[in-house]
Amino acid sequence: MYPHWVLLLLFCLLIVIALFGNLLVCAAIFWDRHLRRQPENLFLVSLAISDLLVSILVMIFAAASDLLGQWPFGNAYCQFWVAFDITTCTASILNLAAICLDRYCHISRPMVYVRYCNRRRISYGIILVWVLSALIGAAPLGFGFGSHVTWDLHNKTACEMRLPLAYAVCSSMLSFFVPAAVMVFLYTKLYLYAQRHVRSIQTQLKQATSFLIMQLASEKIREDEEADSYEDEATAATLRNGTAAPTPPSPKELLEDVPRGSSFWDKFTRVLHVRRNPVSEEAQQQQRNTVSDQKARLTLGVIMGTFLFCWTPFFLVNIWRSWSPHDINKEAVQAVTWLGYANSTVNPIIYSIFNRDFRRAFKKIIVKLFSCFDRGKHDYGCVRNGVTDGGLADRKRSYTRSSETPENNNQNRTDAVATRLVLLNNNESSVIVEE
């Protein structure tokens, strides 16, 4: 067994990350307007609350029991602790399955999802998750089985979870195996859908590139034919009149005479844009979508790999321990139990930090909190006006500075307008010069 200081460090690390990570998820969705407007984020709030309860009601007492080598909280709380353990862990797993189902419906049937999946229906799904979890967790208390305090040879107490085989199998099926099978099936379908989507994008990109090449080639042939016709007419005129043919105007001179709103100018700028960028904006967007699909596939692999790695050993040991309780030692049970608890620690990392909107919200919250601490105890603007808004004192100072110097503000606006005119003139001249 590891030394106590190693276990203490590991337990504290798992509990602290789970506690603050899930609190940060809830704070981000509560304070960020963009995240709050998305109804599907309610599932992430439910997941964060379940993992937060795992860290507070379950992991702290499990760490104290494992470090002390005994259960010091009495027989009554032993029964409630086991019920809390089953309820919160089941709610966490079922929330993961609900998130998987929500994402599958969102991607595979977007029109139906937008029409029917509103906040009310999502709230009903969350209530169903928690009711089912509470029923599974409260069954040992209602039927009078599940856990009790025992004494070993050294007169040390332990909170033993002794579940009947029928309950262990049924609860494991409802709490893990059925949700895991649903998640594997749906995420596999999403993976195959992403592959088909990437192949479709690549095919469209090749077709678009071939079309652009053919269009540019036809434009070049037409220009060459017009140039040859012009040279033939000029040569014939020279032979008839005995004078030199006039020099053809340069492209810059021709374009300077063309009105900016004409159809020829629009066509030229489109062709010039294609010449500057061999791949059009649509193709670039498709390439960005391809990269996003690859990241999505990687995220799906991380989600399923982490979930199965954390919970599969525990539920297999749970059934085996109910079948033959003396074949598995205490250390193995503790190891697989904490491996399952670790899933509540990594969930906010996987489902939130990998999301760009959550990273932006986390950055705002952290920066705002540090700015509040730097201002001191007497500035309560950051707390009163929310994390994403500035303090009232800062807005007053900004308004005072802007109102005290109207001449400077007018001068700044004049300079800004002049700068925009210079940039526009530079852009027009650069377009005209380029061939």
Show contacts of 196-204: CB within 8 Å, 24+ apart: 197/289, 197/293, 198/290, 198/293, 198/294, 201/286, 201/287, 201/289, 201/290, 201/293, 202/290, 204/286
Show contacts of 80-83: CB within 8 Å, 24+ apart: 80/141, 81/57, 81/147, 81/159, 82/140, 82/146, 82/147, 82/159, 82/161, 83/137, 83/138, 83/140, 83/141, 83/146
Maximum Cα interatomic distance, the chain, rounded to a whole number of Å? 125
Residue 43: partners with Cβ closer than 8 Å, 6 or more residues away? 95, 98, 99, 102, 122, 125, 126
Which helix (DSSP H) or strand (DSSP E) does residue 279 occupy? none
Task: Verify that 176 and 295 share a domain, yes or no.
Answer: yes
Does residue 350 lie in a domain region?
yes
Supply 208's token pair: 């678009």
Does residue 394 lie in a domain region?
no
Task: Verify that 115 and 196 share a domain, yes or no.
Answer: yes
Task: Verify that 306 and 434 share a domain, yes or no.
Answer: no
Task: Verify that 305 and 413 share a domain, yes or no.
Answer: no
Does residue 431 lie in a domain region?
yes
CATH of the domain at 72: 1.20.1070.10
Three-state DSSP at 32 gives coil
Q: How far is residue 245's CA from residue 195's CA, in Å, rounded to a whole number?
A: 61
- Judge residue 147's burial from the number of C-beta atoms within 10 Å of its C-beta, 0-12 exposed, 13-18 middle, 19 or more buried: buried
- CB 54 within 8 Å of CB 344: yes
Q: How far is residue 167's CA from residue 163's CA, in Å, rounded to a whole number?
A: 7
Task: Verify that 121 and 34 share a domain, yes or no.
Answer: yes
Distances (CA, A) of 87 to 13, 331, 338: 23, 23, 16
Does residue 249 lie in a domain region?
no
Q: Please state the domain count of the chain.
A: 2
Q: What is the DSSP code string of 292-313? A: HHHHHHHHHHHHHHHHHHHHHH
Residue 314: partners with Cβ closer than 8 Å, 6 or more residues away? 336, 337, 339, 340
Task: Verify that 289 and 421 share a domain, yes or no.
Answer: no
- CB 55 within 8 Å of CB 18: yes
pLDDT at 58: 95
pLDDT tens digits in sequence order for the chain, 435 residues long: 556 788 899 999 999 999 999 999 999 999 898 999 999 999 999 999 999 999 999 999 999 999 998 899 888 888 889 899 999 999 999 999 999 999 899 888 888 888 888 999 999 999 999 999 999 998 888 776 666 666 654 567 888 777 888 898 999 999 999 999 999 999 888 888 777 766 665 565 555 555 555 555 565 556 555 555 655 555 555 545 555 445 555 444 444 444 544 444 444 444 444 444 544 555 565 555 556 656 666 777 788 899 999 999 999 999 998 888 777 888 899 999 999 999 999 999 888 777 888 888 988 888 888 877 666 555 545 544 544 444 444 444 444 444 444 445 444 444 444 444 444 444 433 333 333
Report residue 150: phi and psi, to 5°.
Answer: -120, 165
pLDDT at 389: 46
How many residues in the chain?
435
Q: What is the DSSP code string of 150-189? A: EE-TTS-EEEEEE--HHHHHHHHIIIIIHHHHHHHHHHHH
Does residue 99 lie in a domain region?
yes
Which helix (DSSP H) or strand (DSSP E) does residue 431 occupy? helix 406-433
pLDDT at 136: 94
Q: What is the DSSP code string of 37-71? A: T-TTHHHHHHHHHHHHHIIIIIIHHHHHHHHHTS-
- CB 88 within 8 Å of CB 5: no
Task: Verify that 290 and 427 share a domain, yes or no.
Answer: no
Does residue 318 lie in a domain region?
yes
Task: Verify that 338 and 429 share a domain, yes or no.
Answer: no
- Structural domain for 434, as ranges: 405-435
Report residue 148: phi and psi, to 5°.
Answer: -165, 165
Q: What is the DSSP code string of 387-419? A: SSS--HHHHHHHHHHHHH-HHHHHHHHHHHHHH
Task: Verify that 420 and 296 share a domain, yes or no.
Answer: no
pLDDT at 336: 95
Does residue 232 lie in a domain region?
no
Q: How far is residue 368's CA from residue 356's CA, in Å, rounded to a whole number?
A: 18
Does residue 78 lie in a domain region?
yes
Task: Verify that 48 and 171 share a domain, yes or no.
Answer: yes
Residue 138 burial (CB count, 10 A): 14
Task: Verify that 309 and 422 share a domain, yes or no.
Answer: no
Task: Verify that 314 and 417 share a domain, yes or no.
Answer: no
